[in-house]
Amino acid sequence: MATSAPESSPGTADPTASAAFAPYVPATESPAEFTLKAVVIGALFGLLFGASTVYLGLRAGLTVSASIPIAVLAISVLKRLGGSTILENNIVQTIGSAGESVAGGVVFTVPALIFLASGASYFTYVQITMLTLVGGVLGTLMMVPLRRALIVKEHGVLPYPEGTACAEVLVAGERGGKLAGLVFSGLGVGALWKGLSWIFNLFLTEVGYSTPRTSQFPNATLNIDISPEYLGVGYVIGPRIAGTMFAGGVLSWLVLLPLLSILGSYITVPFPPIHPNFANNPATGLPFLISEMAPGQLWSAYIRYIGAGAVLASGLITLGRTIPTIVSSAVDGIRGFGAAAGGTIARTDRELPMSVVLIGTLVVALVLALVPGMPLQGNVLAAILTVIFAFFFATVSSRITGLIGTSSNPISGMTIATLILTCLLFVALGWTGDTYGPVAICVGAIVCIAAANAGNTSQDLKTGYLVGATPLYQQLGLLVGVAASAISIGATTLYMHQVFGIGSADIPAPQATLMATIVKGLLSHNLPWGLVLVGVFVSLTLELCGIRSLSFAVGSYLPIATTAPIFVGGLVRWWVERGSETTESDLGAGTLFSSGLIAGGSICGILYAVLVGTKSIGPFQAIGNVIPWFHVETGVAQVASAALFFALAVVTVRMAQRKVM
């Protein structure tokens, strides 16, 4: 148990003992933390990871948390610069990780302006940078009153897998020995795996099977993205949450998808898909019939809206449950402010005063409503909506990341919910012209960026809570990270658009394309509300059965290729812990190794993005042509790649069974 001694592994506290938790660095000690070298290096990492995430988000429509790779890099870089404390390393990863989270929120939404009639004029460097800054600052400020409620009071309840894993990495780097060896072993294995599959193209990155459209059970799909970081995330969050997420994926891909295909086989007229990237059937010149659509098209056009409705409902339910804790936290914050005035507050409880949060939020609202050239200029209602939705989804985002991690946080689902609610109000007010589309997108963009940064901020604050950081310095560092990364995010986004063209095959920007489609559909009264409501009642059904619906709803929205490998990681954790009264978390070996897998896979994924972005990937992938049967879509390649993933799971089991002390 890690609740009594600093040398215990962070993040292993008993759910009932959060009050007795002792961080790695006690509150009575004050080692170097918010130093100039830590701030500068963190800002540089924010620039780098922000730019890299822009490419990944535009190309694949997803991002991976950068906290752990940055923590590993911080330990290495600062060691070469004369050494550092664990709290300095933590500040570096806190500042640097803000770039990744904010960039994800930007590329999921802001490029949607290109696809709107009057929105392209707002797609400029100044506008993108302003939206990035406003959303990032708002997400950081919103997490200040939530820290006590979600990080401190629910310690041991919300695992915050990546925040906990990042703390493990920092402690391992501080102690050295077997702990550091386990982390860096995982990092090496994860990087090697990702490099061989993505960069050198030696084997498949995804395996799976879909039943034929003409079968008795058409389009049932089970795919697995065999990435080491997903396996690592599943291990860290454990079998219960991973299994619940996968259950949501089973509903979407193995129940609803075949059911829609069976019913669609009797529909002889096109049922227009929602996704705008579907070309017409070349044989008929008409939109595809449901019976002619591939599983991915069906999911994007129909099933995804059911998942979005489920996320919306479960998010509202989650907020309702959280409100009492938030109120209690606000009271504690007021008392804490008084204690700070008397000089009695502990170092590990110091944070931005509530007065700064309130004034900062007011300033953000005024900037949105008054800054010339912004779509929200003069629209006070839109500015107020933005702040309200940002607070709501910052809470939801933090709780979701507390359960399943930042990489699997369905930020786009929350943005869809924001756009739906915003556009409904606009329609009720008669704001249905082309000029209101960019306004709705900007509301959604700021909320998306704020929610993404709030999720990342909560992970960082969890890491800081475990290692004994000062929350005030972390919050200031996050603001520095947002400001630094905004510089590269705007420039990179515009550069990618100029070179490839956002919406092209090279960078399809799937999330932003979907957002534009939703806004157009809502403002023109053409959104499939039936599908959204199906998802709402799926979550309500689970709640009536006594099941917390959030993890399930997230799984129903994400591709099954994402939830399946996370489930495999959860099964590995279950196998390690089976029949043992002492859980693996008391030993820490599996969590440390899995943290390395996440770090290695993430770093190599970013390297892949750089190679592709600089058009240097060709010579590396040519190596894969030596044994094409391993990476070409054949049965042999599927079996071989699946066998390699099974071998990775076995390696993780063996590493988790090691003693670390």
Residue with the larger pLDDT of the pair 611 and 222: 222
Mean pLDDT of 464-483: 95
Q: Taking Cα atoms as reference points, which of 142, 156, 153 lies closest to residue 14? A: 156
User: What are the φ and ψ backbone dihedral angles of 545, each rounded to 5 degrees?
Assistant: -85, 0
Domain ranges across the chain: 27-263+266-271+273-343+353-656
- Residue 225's SS3 state is strand
Q: pLDDT, tens digit, for every residue of 605-623? A: 778 877 877 788 888 887 7
Residue 249 burial by CB count (10 A; 0-12/13-18/19+): exposed, middle or buried? buried
H or E stretch at 548: none
Q: pLDDT, tens digit, for every residue of 49-74? A: 888 788 777 865 667 677 877 888 88
Q: Cα separation of 404 and 285, whole Å?
A: 43
Q: Taking Cα atoms as reference points, which of 164, 46, 41, 166 lies closest to residue 98? A: 46
Mean pLDDT (the chain) is 82
Asked if residue 50 lies in contact with residue 489, where contact means CB atoms within 8 angstroms, the answer is yes
Q: What residues have CB less than 8 Å from 155, skipping those under 6 apart?
A: 13, 15, 18, 21, 465
Q: Cα separation of 645 and 193, whole Å?
A: 9
Mean pLDDT of 433-459: 90
pLDDT band (50, 70, 90) for residue 227: confident
Tokens, residue 11: 């993040």
Asked if residue 648 lies in contact with residue 193, where contact means CB atoms within 8 angstroms, the answer is yes
Asked if residue 534 lies in contact with residue 308, where contact means CB atoms within 8 angstroms, the answer is no
Q: Cα separation of 319 and 549, whole Å?
A: 12
Residue 147, CB-side half-sphere exposure with 13 Å CA sphere = 31
Q: Cα separation of 489 and 492, whole Å?
A: 5
Q: What residues have CB less than 8 Å from 40, skipping those under 6 apart?
A: none
Q: Cα separation of 27 and 89, whole Å?
A: 17
Q: DSSP assignment of 468-525, as one string?
A: T--HHHHHHHHHHHHHHHHHHHHHHHHHHHHHT-TTSSSS--HHHHHHHHHHHHHHTT
Mean pLDDT of 393-422: 79
Q: Using the predicted structure, report yes or no on whether residue 290 has a pLDDT greater than 90.
A: no
Residue 279: alpha-carbon gap to chain centroid:
30
Q: Using the predicted structure, report yes or no on whether residue 470 has a pLDDT greater than 50.
A: yes
pTM score above 0.85: no
Tokens, residue 186: 């995982």
- Residue 158's SS3 state is strand
- Tell me the sheet residues that pair with 155: 158
Question: Which conformational region is residue 71 in: left (phi greater than 0), alpha (psi within -120 to 50 degrees), or beta?
Answer: alpha
Q: Cα separation of 3 and 25, whole Å?
A: 13
Q: Cα separation of 141 and 361, whole Å?
A: 7
Q: What residues have CB less than 8 Å from 85, skipping those under 6 apart?
A: 31, 32, 33
Q: pLDDT, tens digit, for every residue of 67-112? A: 877 888 888 788 888 888 999 999 999 999 998 889 988 988 999 9
